[in-house]
Amino acid sequence: MATSEQMIPDRAPPITQIGPIAWLRENLFSGPLNTLLTIAAFYFLYLVIPPVFEWMFLDANWQGTTRNDCTRDGACWVFIIQRFEQFMYGFYPEDLRWRPNLAGILLVLLIIPLFLKRVPYKGWLALFILLVYPVIAYFLLHGGAGIEEVDTSKWGGLMLTLVLSIFGIVAALPIGILLALGRRSSMPIIRAVSTVYIELWRGAPLITILFMSSVMLPLFLPEGMDIDKLARAMVGIALFQSAYVAEAVRGGLQAIPKGQYEAASAMGLTYWQSMRLVILPQALKLSIPGMVNTFIELFKDTSLVLIIGLFDLLSIIQQANADPNWLGFDTEGYIFAALVYWIFCFGMSRYSLALERKLDTGHRN
């Protein structure tokens, strides 16, 4: 038996284990197959990127007012620039567009404090956003009570897309949470009702729900009673989305160990207290990826309102594509639509990652 009284000092690793050379070897050229794939991938990028870049930027047309100004080979961004306002607001009267702008700015200003660390009364602010803001937004966007009214048939573009998805997300969240709790309830009737609701709405495509809301629902309403088409679509989307939220939340609830429920009950908390203070904060954190996934889907799925004659971002771009003055610029239109959708979806995805990191308390169950 040998003993060593002296501690061996730490030594630096061999040079092949660290730095850019090691990284390249490890990740790009770790074997013959990998080397081949790396070369093939670089060749593919070489083929694709330069022409696309040329078309989009170097040869693109940025200046002018009509299609005749698009003289160069590249993309005709003049089309997008000329129609930009319409893509944002649809047919909302030009002189009133400050109202949706104000509603948007107000929302952003209200939401920012929620994300800052040391802001007091966050709970009240959140309640204000959930309960009071929608009323303000309604009067700003729609008017009424002395404010000039703008019929919802004139709403459109990105503004409509945002109205549909924000309403869908915000309204679906509380309904979804209640449904998820209901589905795990020990009371059979509540459990059955929640399960049936979730399975029914999840089993139908959004497009049929939109059809039902715009075509079928009026048949069941009494004569002369008419509900705004946009409102019907919003309710349909919110109810549809709540089924998905419910399943995402249920996933989170199931991941919470039984011991958490027991500890909460053992200290005398009531069912609703233990849900609100102990279980849901943890379960919602776990269901963030799933929920954001459905939110991103919803954001893109709102483009389906096209089939019931609402002009969201995508449908208004399609409509502009069909304008005889601008025929032949579909590609530019669709690229613009894709870019706008991507910015919002990528933003949501990044935000959810940041939120997961922020809520991480280093605990693994």
Rule CB under 8 A: which residues touch other proteins? 257, 259-260, 262-270, 273, 277-278, 281-282, 285, 359, 361-365
**Considering beta carbons, is residue 6 or 365 the nearer one to other proteins?**
365
Amino acid identity, residue 69? D
Q: For the CB of residue 363, give the shortest distance to other proteins in the complex, in Å.
A: 3
Q: For the CB of residue 266, give the shortest distance to other proteins in the complex, in Å.
A: 4
Distance CA 48, CA 269 (A): 61
Q: For the CB of residue 256, give the shortest distance to other proteins in the complex, in Å.
A: 10
**Considering beta carbons, is residue 86 or 282 the nearer one to other proteins?**
282
**Considering beta carbons, is residue 206 or 284 the nearer one to other proteins?**
284
Q: For the CB of residue 187, give the shortest distance to other proteins in the complex, in Å.
A: 13
The conformational region for residue 328 under phi > 0 = left, psi -120 to 50 = alpha, else beta, is left
**Considering beta carbons, is residue 144 or 257 the nearer one to other proteins?**
257
**Considering beta carbons, is residue 72 or 122 the nearer one to other proteins?**
122
**Considering beta carbons, is residue 271 or 334 the nearer one to other proteins?**
271
Question: Residue 130, CB half-sphere, CA atoms under 13 Å: how many?
Answer: 13
Q: For the CB of residue 287, give the shortest distance to other proteins in the complex, in Å.
A: 14
Q: For the CB of residue 269, give the shortest distance to other proteins in the complex, in Å.
A: 6
**Considering beta carbons, is residue 123 or 224 the nearer one to other proteins?**
123
Q: For the CB of residue 283, give the shortest distance to other proteins in the complex, in Å.
A: 10
Distance CA 143, CA 138 (A): 7
